[in-house]
Structure 1
Amino acid sequence: MNHAPRFSLTLEVPAANSADAYQHFTAKAAYETDVADVMIDCQKGNPPFILLDVRDQLTYEQCHIPGAIHITGRQINAKTTAHLDKNTTIVTYCWGPACNGATKAAAKLASLGFPVKELLGGIEYWRKEGGQVEGTLGVEAPMYWSIIK
């Protein structure tokens, strides 16, 4: 009987030691948050962060997370963010995991001096996890961005 260790793609690169792993994962959590955590905070009322939808104006109007404000990602600058409190964390979101708009917006906001996190999964996963939405189309709005509007 052969008892030689089997090759593992998962463990081809060994796991980091626990101290390094702790540093990595706490650093990662400093930049990201998930739908469930944001949803729970929103359900409690008056969340301690600003939720920022960075998609285009039309898609925001059609469907967005209740309480979210809107600034199109490409329009984020010192002037368009002057009304925002630099002591309040901003949580950015876009379409979903295949969209990097929230990442780019978070980088711009950080460069302007805002504390910021990115909502993993965007509005796609918000909706998939049963999050409430509002807007002119609400739940009837498309789940994904389309070049054909």
Structure 2
Amino acid sequence: MTTLPGAAPIPSFSDNPVLRVPPAAPAEAAAYFGASLAFHADVSDVAAALAAGGDPGFVVLDSRSARSWDQGHVPGAVHLPTARIVGEAERLLDPAVPVITYCWGPGCDGGTRAALALARLGYQVKEMLGGIEYWIREGFETETSRGRERRDADPLTAPAGSADCGC
């Protein structure tokens, strides 16, 4: 700690790397995290809503290429690559129904670009965190050009033997 005469101690840059920048005030944190949830949907939550049957109240949109789509996609998703959203969204999507976008995974911002394009067109939209990668890693079924497939859940992303992570 560094202390200036007559001042409160100032943490030095080497003290605690986690708290080098102090946490936001609770009201600021609540606003930030609340906003984050308004923009993002969790893979498990999307899967649970789709599995519940009936109308989930949203449509899932895969923004990847046709080749990627054939490799595996969320069952029931609409296929609309990002580059075609402006020209085709109106034909494929109901503007009154929220859209959940996804692309490959956390290392890809294709789902974000698709969400931006849709928002600019006036759609309510969220991005599915983790994309198809985490959909598959959490053990949810995909549709492929060969039919439906399911892989075992990765224990690093989902609890073994349970569809509910408890969060």
Normalized against structure 1, the TM-score is what?
Answer: 0.85
Q: Distance in 1 between matches of 2:50 and 2:106?
A: 21
Q: 1:139 Cα shift?
A: 4.2
- 1:82 Cα offset (Å): 1.3
Match of 2:75 in 1: 66
Alignment root-mean-square deviation, CA? 1.6
Equivalent-residue separation in structure 2 for 1:48 and 1:131 (angstroms): 20
What is the DSSP-based 3-state SS (H/G/I as helix, E as strand, rest coil) of the residue aligned with 1:81? helix
Ranges in structure 2 where 5+ consecutive residues have no aligned partner:
1-10, 151-167
1:104 to partner: Cα distance: 0.5
Counterpart of 2:106, as a letter, is: P
One-letter amino acid of the counterpart of residue 18, structure 1:
P
Q: Distance in 2 between matches of 1:9 and 1:24?
A: 22
Query: Alignment partner of 2:88: what SS?
Result: coil
Q: Residue in 1 aligned with 2:132?
A: 123
- Describe the SS at the equivalent of 1:82: helix
Shift of 1:7: 1.6
* Paired-residue identity, %: 42
Residue 80 in 1 paired to residue 88 in 2?
yes
Q: Which residue of 2 aligns with 1:90?
A: 99
Verify: 1:50 aligned to 2:59, yes or no: yes
Q: CA–CA distance in 1 between the matches of 2:72 and 2:107?
A: 18
Task: State how far apart, in whole Å, the 1-side matches of 2:71 and 2:41 are.
Answer: 24
Runs of 4+ in 1 over 3 A off after TM superposition: 137-140
For structure 1, the 5+ residue unaligned runs are 141-149
What is the number of equivalent residue pairs in this alignment?
135
- In 2, Cα distance between equivalents of 1:27 and 1:82: 27
**Equivalent of 1:41, from 34, 49, 68?**
49
The within-5 A match list for 1:135-146 is: 135-137=144-146, 139=149
Give me the whole-angstrom Cα distance separating, in 2, the residues matched to 1:16 and 1:7.
Answer: 19
Q: Residue in 2 aligned with 1:19?
A: 27
Larger radius of gyration: 2
Q: Give the SS at the match of 1:106.
A: helix
Q: Deviations 1:90-133 (Å, cap 9, x if unpaired)?
A: 00000000011000010000000000000000000000001110
